[in-house]
Every structure is written in structure tokens, then in C-alpha cells.
Amino acid sequence: MSNQRQGLLTLNAGSSSIKFAVFTVPELKQLLIGQIDSIGSIAAFKAKSSDALINEKYEWSQQDAPQNHADALKWLIEWLNLRMANLKICAVGHRVVHGGQFYSEPVLINDDVLHQLESLLALAPLHEPHNVAGIKAARESFGEIAQVACFDTAFHRDQPFINDTFAIPRHFYEEGVRRYGFHGLSYEYISKNLPELFPEHAKGRVIILHLGNGASMCAIKDGRAVSSTMGFSALDGLAMGTRCGNIDPGVLLYLMEFKGMKAKEISDLLYKESGLKGLSGISNDMRTLEGSDQPEAKEAIDYFVSRVKREIGSLAMALGGLDAMVFTGGIGENSVNVRKAVLEGCEWLGVEIDEANNASGQTVISSEFSSVLCLRIPTNEEGMIAAHTLALSNLSIPTMSS
């Protein structure tokens, strides 16, 4: 007999990628993190273990590359079995972008749940189909082990009606056309960890800025969502890497009526060609724009920052004041310049930045004289998925196998 540890796998299936992480059970110590990118094209793989014993990168030739999520997941499982032979995957947790009006918390996946998720494909056409494809592929590969859906919209389901609706005929709201909000797993992670770090501020009025290629902000009071910048889809609110953010609906009517654009063309424009990429004409990557001397790059960054500042004002009003702000996500965690530019516009709220702390990436980036605590806290959506999956899967005792 030999010890075989229980493991838990988290999957985040995007439009052309699968991000994954492996955790021990029941400790939830992260063993491995990685991703497969450009599925359907020249796919690339990378993975790194926490002990640095695994640090692999691989790029397929186009003819050998996995052409869909099922193929990519099958390859990943074979790779895991080879590299982590002493680990038995006993549960799988999935990030699912949209839970619609049905799900306000994670849920064990069964045939009925899967069927209901398929009914939501139209609400998130660029995300949900791939989330569902990842679930189907995992069920096929892992059989009867517990699988859990963790929803990006669930954290926002308790928002008040006035922050959850649009001013269109009410029957659309009843049919599910409402403000869902996204990045909920990130907000949940920060909200659950903030009380340990700053308990008094965690009870107060907090704005979390999840700034990355996808970007949004959320107003939170006593750990619960009050309002979010994202709405019915992941397009609303802030400008993002390739997404437009807030836009006058009249622009869309103009594109349809006078430019003759079809829904698919408009969808591609708003989701894939806009945001920082469209504004700059250079890149959707903030690092590239910050390193560019082109005026269009600076203008794109300035626009991004200006929208963040406007939303801070809006969310502070929804909260009735502000006690803390938390920067997270790829840009929020790593861009010294963006954090500085945002906070330097918030003196009217009582914010005072500590430039040295900000430059060195400290947790607290506001000065001792600031009436608003400003923080930089890395998010961990994979860890949040793992925690929910463990709780619902009833896994606790390591198994023994020969």
C-alpha cells in the first residue's frame, strides 16, 4: 500500500483557453497552476508547481494542437496523471461566468444544472459556451466525481432592485434582463480575506477595483455587494483590454441602421476590437501601452483612468461615503502608475497616497494622514473556487491505494 493524496482541480475555461490549478485536500495548499492558450489555433501550454520542481512550457504545431476544449482537457488530464502520479483528483471546480437569476451560490453539477446552464448561453455568448464545454469535457474525463459550478454573478445577487435593473419595461427584468455584475469570485475572495487584515474597515464602505484585461469595480458594505460597474453583460462599465465599457446605446443603433452592421459584427467590435486596443491602435496590454511613447497609448491610459475615477465617485455615492479602496487584478496589482493616477484624483474623498509604498507594491498604499485606507491585495479566484468545491464535495480524509 502506498499513500496517494487527494487532489482538487479548478478549471476556468475561456473562449480559447483553459486556466487550471491543483490543490491538496483538505488543506487546499496550491500545488500547481497553469493554462493552455490559443485553443483551436497554435495552442501553447505552461505550468508551474509551488515547489518549482515543475516549470514547463510547450507549444504545439498547428496540426498537432488541440482543436477544442475537450481535446485540450483530455491532454491536460494525461499530463497531470504523468507529472503528479501520487495525486488522485477527487473533485473539480469550474468558474462559470453567468448564473443568471437562478444561482446565488455555488452548486454541485448534475444533469439538471447543466441543462439550466445551457439555457443561459445567450446571456454571455463569448464566455458561457466555453464554461459549459469545460464542464462537459471534465464530466466525460473524470466520470462520477463531484464537480462544482462557481458563478461570477453570484456575489452580486443581493444588490438592491435600483442597482439591479434597467429603466425599460419591467417585464424584461422578470425575464432576466437585469444588472448581473461579474468578477464575483475575485470580489468574494477579497471580501472574505479583508476582515483578517483590516477588520474595522471590512465592516465599512469599501470599493474593490478589479482592474485587468477584464475590468470592473464593486461597492461593498459590510462584506455584501451594493452596486457594480458591470451590468447585463461583461461589456458595461470601465473600458477594458478589448471591451468598450460604457457606451451610448444610440451608437449601436447608428451602427445597425446607418452602417449596416449585423449583430455578430457589432459583437466582435465591442468585445474584441475596442477598449485599450481600439483607443490606442497599439495593444490591449497595459504594460505595452505604459512602455510606449506614442500619444495614442497615453490617451488610452488616460481614458481608462478617467473612467475609473468617475466610477469611484458613483460607487462612493451609492455607499454614502468611503472607508477603503482595494486594488486587485493584473493592472490593479502590478501597475504602479495606474494606481497613482487613480488615487491622485481622489483627494476630494480624503485620499492621500503614500508614493513610496505604492512604488514598492506594499499592501497599504495610502499615507497615515489619509481618511480612506487604500490597499493593494492580490486576488485568488482559483483559491475561492477550490474552497467552494471542497465545501460542497464533502472531501476530508485522504484515500489509500495500492
**What are the two backbone dihedrals, phi and then psi, of residue 6, each rounded to the nearest 5 degrees?**
-80, 140
| Element (DSSP H or E) covering residue 89 | strand 87-96
Distance CA 133, CA 40 (A): 14
Q: Which residues pair with 11 in a beta bridge?
A: 20, 94
CA nearest neighbour of 183 among 209, 222, 163: 209
Do the Cβ atoms of 98 and 128 come closer than 8 Å? Answer: yes
Q: What is the DSSP string of 349-360?
A: GT--B-HHHHHT
DSSP result, 31-66: EEEEEEESTTSS-EEEEEETTSS-EEEEE--TTTS-
Which of the residues 37, 112, 152, 302 is marked catalytic?
152
Long-range contacts of 334-340 (CB under 8 A, 24+ apart): 334/287, 335/211, 335/286, 335/287, 335/290, 336/361, 337/290, 337/301, 338/211, 338/286, 338/301, 338/304, 338/305, 339/365, 339/376
Rounded CA gap, 355 and 347, in Å?
A: 14
Burial class (CB in 10 A: 0-12, 13-18, 19+), 167: exposed
- Could you give the CA distance from residue 400 to residue 53 in angstroms, rounded to a whole number? 24
Burial group, residue 54, by CB count within 10 angstroms (0-12, 13-18, 19+):
middle
* Residue whose cell numbers read 491543483: 22
Which has the closest alpha carbon to 184: 213, 165, 159, 163?
159
Question: Is 37 tagged catalytic?
Answer: no
Catalytic residues: 152
